[in-house]
Structure 1
């Protein structure tokens, strides 16, 4: 539909406007009465609104050149500065008046029928849905008005002029929402309460009502302003109602039910509110709703939770513990207290487990001891992983508790030695990796057990003690060829290296390498003997291990020893062979670590025994090849064995006693034993105890040197340092043990005496490095 204008009088123009509005009004009625409007009718209404806006203004102040010249062609819209001037104000006002009347009629129906609660909500939401859709259609019809007159007015600063869709919402808010807000909100809250009580309700009504509050926020406003209608008319009341509801319910439920049941109830309630947010609440409510629910359902009952937490731990109620964690996780201070309770509990359980495996004050089985530690760690590590979702706070609690009871417990107190745990752990590794009469586990199983060992090793504070004992026991396994698997030995060294670094395992790695090098050397020596045969050099099973000096826990012999003539030939032949292979190297024979087997036959018919002996024992037994008795002095002269070593009995059942040079040592011709193979090289218990004490003393001596080296290294770098800072630096740098303050002070005194450092003049608490 198009219209053109000529110089008609003002009255005629006004009649045309009324005609336009009459036609447009009829179309608006169709829109809000939900009559079917086809595309053609929609375009007619759009053209009608356009023609209304494009009519010539009756403004007496309009300039002549603003007025269009008579034309027979349809007028084209301009920007308002030239040609036709828009009279959108009249159309805008007529639409506003129409909406006011329409909405007042809607509200009158509610008052007339006295609608309440769900019936009111049903009517309200239906009217809102229809009104919103109709207003969207009307907005499309009036797009020309929106793009020109409304836009220009808003640009001029008139913020009370809105696009037609927003105008419709403003009118709804003024004539429907404001008068009915309390009734509508109350009806929504009642439905939500019914749903919380387990009743089935029409959540679609709630969703539509809540959406109406949100959508009544105007598009042009800031996000907070757009939600102002929602917040003031609904959210504020909803949150207050939620707080009141759950405060009453939680208190009553706890009075009638145990805490574990309440945990389930609270967990379900929080989940319900999250789902409620997803179903029909605005996302902006989620954070505050969660906060309110957490405060009422969890924070107000924390003291009850703490009291119950210990019971749950004592009874291994891991699922309930997990529920409590999920609830308290929402409150950071609450987690810290749970963490403290867990740490104290693990410490108590760990100390009790160690106490149960202690056989006596002096005897502790390494296997039982380590298994007790592992059982406690495994149990609570599983709890932390599953019930506490590997939360770092509770991982720290587990680590701190394990570090405490593993390093300081009744076993270490009985021994008066904080290095008892690393000693027992090293001995347990020896039981795993050493061949024994029992059936050893498969390699894969052993690998898994060694991984468990490393779990305990991680908590050991005095790792240098473990290193000392492990090195001694590894040396024994390698020298005596009693390792279950050389691959497992290498694997264990790799694990230690990964945990503590290259320096920690450098000697262990060298020892492991020496075994392979020695195997190749023995193979070449056998080839050499085959190519250069000699009489009396064919000792069966002869092999030599060449150990790198400084890597193995053995010292060079301090006295000479006359090796038996029966062993001398092959001994000298290997020495000559090695000198040819490695010129410039010198072999020092460690007879104390050498062993062999000798066969003894006697009687008619002859009975034979094979004795496994040390080299010293072999040399003594060989003395009786031609005589049945010798004096102690003769034995010592012939073998040149030190007197202390000579006291070592040839039979492990013989008791040690004072021996004089004139005493006669006689061969026991009546010796009998049901075993064909007899091991005479077993260490005495007194020797094992002495070796343990020596190992611990060696660790103490080594620590003093390590502390001194650390002090010198630090002072060389800093030049000057105060006493307190030097202590802190040393404690921070030393990772394999925790040096005591008295030990550091003693080392500082030693270094001052050696002129490595000195006290600064006039400042006794400050040290200075001396180059």
Structure 2
């Protein structure tokens, strides 16, 4: 075997050979017609450096080569790169910089390959900066530090030119800004500190000047168009040449100058601000306003406030219109104006709910603004009626036969849905429930309901909105009526199977459950003999069904069909039970005085006056009255009017309407007292000891879903509970209450 001893390569010889390779690389970079490195040349360079690093000491020249590597860059930059950059300015300097940076990276790549053995062993063993980092650091220390501020100013000048509408070389800007990023070698410090900070200041100054001019000369929509365009263009700049990390900071600066600074001036512009846009239904402009201000912290608050105020004002206009129409009753026949008011409120809600959904992207802040606005005018007294009553009347008008609202089934369902949504804004939901129950009872008892499905539909919607307790009585009424029809069929079967039992009159009885229905006045009416027999027959039948239930007869809700035999013809009269009882007295007597009628029927004066008024002073004069005046007094005498005639063979004789509002309000007030009592006891039972303010607050919170309890009323109920020994005052502190078990 033969071992060949390699000749030791001395430093000067190796460096000279290496220098030739570096010179060739420089010539290639400078475009001096030098051919590219062949694989043989590359291998020779690599091997030479490898050998110089692997010779035994003292001929291991790794340290000297590492220093030479850095010198090569320093020398090239100082002699060639910097002079070429110093003689150029503005855009030309930027182009030259991009070229020099690209060349520098090529030089780093090639030299790092030649010196690769250093990286693998010498650098890692000594924990020195890698060759690639050394190459980039040379450029940073010599070129970047000297020129970065000039480069930054040149870039910002080009950006401003572009903002003014000039065409600029975006690729050049992207490449220049890439240098700021790359020079950080994985960190963004150089880009942020040496470029971004100044660029953001310049952006703020640029848009500050623009905004101060636009706010004076442009309308709100025009200003917003410009602002939106500016923001879009700035976003575009980020995507084309700025670093993506600048986007949030840049847009924030633009928004601050264009929107935040001028929010109030913009929204309150006299003929084109937010109020004007709402007034003139400028949907696109409102959508743009939302898009712009939604990106600004708390930017939507002032827009929502304007929206709330505008909707409130619109609602108050409707309230005023209803008031004006009500004071001029000649124009509004029998409460139709109130129906118009509710319909207009529904239309208003539809309109602005569409704004919330479409223009304001269903944002919760606008839902809240709409709710608060509607709560203001939906709780006003309109033409002497509360909105709770008006809403109940509106439902009644839709659901009863012959109502003024002629709507298709689909439209009725849609309208009922909207009414229930309006109910959410009304604080006196318990008052609505009571009025609605009164009207529902009339529809059910007098067969005035147009469609049972619609009745059930609105109850299910109310249940969804207000809870099961809210609708339990109403649902009970609907169920009760179904059972009552079944009961009536059983009664008919009972009569058919017992021919001996004959009431002598066609009789229909509706049996109801007391707890579900509104309370009705029952009187000790002395029924005529014909009617007494009917009542007895039904009582006998009912006792065969149940022994444990007591029947209370509500004659005021009954109707009778009786034949009136007049000289010209027989006319069927449809009357209330009381009216029929009065007329049946005239089968036995031709003339009866007021006091005789009163004695025979055992009625109170108020009721009797109403009855006699309907029969002798109204449209159909079935009785003649002496003296012939418009009002009934206790000295009057009545006789059957045999000469009465009418073109119809069947007529309904109505009773003068009774204002039930007072009774409903009284009932609700009574229920509220119980509810407040129950709430106070519930709270105190769990808390044992509580201060006055806290008790009132918790009570208001508990009851707020159904009605807004008056603080004075709560105070009064607390006093009442103290006298009834449910609570006691603390001896030391009178504002502290204790629960007494």
What's 1:749 paired with?
719
CA distance in 1, matches of 2:404, 2:137: 90
Match of 2:147 among 180, 186, 210: 180
Match of 2:341 among 346, 369, 391: 369
Q: Normalized against structure 2, the TM-score is what?
A: 0.88
Where 1:543 maps in the other structure, the secondary structure is: coil
String of CA shifts for 1:276-320, please: whole Å, max 9, x gaps.
Answer: 112211122222212221222122323422422344344443433
Match of 1:169 among 126, 136, 139: 136
CA distance in 2, matches of 1:579, 1:668: 41
Match of 1:614 among 568, 576, 588: 576
* Residue 91 (str. 1) matches residue 65 (str. 2): yes
- Aligned in 2, Cα 1:100/1:612: closer, same or farther, shift over 3 Å? same
Q: Normalized against structure 1, the TM-score is what?
A: 0.84
CA distance in 2, matches of 1:42, 1:523: 113
CA distance in 1, matches of 2:117, 2:496: 113
Equivalent pairs, count: 711
What's 2:81 paired with?
107
What's 1:287 paired with?
248
CA distance in 2, matches of 1:118, 1:504: 77
| Equivalent pair of 2:397/2:405 in contact (CA under 8 Å) | no
CA shift at 1:564, angstroms? 4.6
CA shift at 1:695, angstroms? 1.4
* Residue 21 (str. 1) matches residue 18 (str. 2): yes
CA shift at 1:620, angstroms? 2.6
What's 1:324 paired with?
289
CA shift at 1:269, angstroms? 0.5
| Equivalent pair of 2:566/2:644 in contact (CA under 8 Å) | no
- Aligned in 2, Cα 1:202/1:629: closer, same or farther, shift over 3 Å? same
* Residue 421 (str. 1) matches residue 390 (str. 2): no
Match of 2:318 among 316, 338, 353: 353
Match of 2:585 among 623, 648, 651: 623
CA distance in 2, matches of 1:634, 1:258: 82
What's 1:237 paired with?
198
What are the within-5 Å matches in structure 2 for residues 348-497 of structure 1?
348-358=313-323, 359-361=325-327, 365-408=337-380, 411=382, 415=384, 420-436=386-402, 440-497=406-463
CA distance in 2, matches of 1:538, 1:109: 128
Q: Which runs of 5+ in 1 are unaligned?
A: 60-85, 155-160, 220-225
CA distance in 1, matches of 2:684, 2:583: 58
CA distance in 1, matches of 2:243, 2:351: 44
Which piece of structure 1 moves more, 501-510 or 375-384? 375-384
Match of 1:501 among 456, 461, 467: 467
| Equivalent pair of 2:82/2:143 in contact (CA under 8 Å) | no
* Residue 645 (str. 1) matches residue 607 (str. 2): yes
- Aligned in 2, Cα 1:253/1:110: closer, same or farther, shift over 3 Å? farther
CA distance in 1, matches of 2:717, 2:394: 34
- Aligned in 2, Cα 1:56/1:619: closer, same or farther, shift over 3 Å? same
| Equivalent pair of 2:438/2:518 in contact (CA under 8 Å) | yes
What are the within-5 Å matches in structure 2 for residues 686-705 of structure 1?
687-688=658-659, 691-705=660-674
String of CA shifts for 1:232-286, please: whole Å, max 9, x gaps.
Answer: 3322232222122222222233343333211111111011111211221112222
Where 2:443 maps in the other structure, the secondary structure is: helix
| Equivalent pair of 2:304/2:366 in contact (CA under 8 Å) | yes
- Aligned in 2, Cα 1:447/1:42: closer, same or farther, shift over 3 Å? farther
Where 1:588 maps in the other structure, the secondary structure is: coil
What's 1:581 paired with?
545
What's 1:658 paired with?
633
| Equivalent pair of 1:31/1:37 in contact (CA under 8 Å) | no
What's 2:101 paired with?
128
| Equivalent pair of 1:30/1:37 in contact (CA under 8 Å) | no
CA distance in 2, matches of 1:568, 1:285: 94
- Aligned in 2, Cα 1:152/1:578: closer, same or farther, shift over 3 Å? farther
CA shift at 1:544, angstroms? 2.8
Where 1:360 maps in the other structure, the secondary structure is: helix
- Aligned in 2, Cα 1:88/1:366: closer, same or farther, shift over 3 Å? farther
- Aligned in 2, Cα 1:453/1:111: closer, same or farther, shift over 3 Å? closer
String of CA shifts for 1:429-468, please: whole Å, max 9, x gaps.
Answer: 1111111165732222111101111122111111111111
CA distance in 1, matches of 2:503, 2:17: 132
- Aligned in 2, Cα 1:628/1:36: closer, same or farther, shift over 3 Å? farther
CA distance in 2, matches of 1:492, 1:275: 53
CA distance in 2, matches of 1:439, 1:464: 25
| Equivalent pair of 1:564/1:622 in contact (CA under 8 Å) | no
Which piece of structure 1 moves more, 235-244 or 26-35? 26-35
| Equivalent pair of 1:723/1:766 in contact (CA under 8 Å) | yes
* Residue 250 (str. 1) matches residue 211 (str. 2): yes
The alignment yields a C-alpha RMSD, in angstroms, of 3.1
- Aligned in 2, Cα 1:39/1:602: closer, same or farther, shift over 3 Å? farther
CA distance in 1, matches of 2:583, 2:729: 62
CA shift at 1:407, angstroms? 0.9
CA distance in 2, matches of 1:13, 1:672: 144
Q: Which runs of 5+ in 2 are unaligned?
A: 330-334, 622-629
CA distance in 2, matches of 1:31, 1:561: 127
CA distance in 1, matches of 2:437, 2:533: 33
| Equivalent pair of 1:42/1:141 in contact (CA under 8 Å) | yes
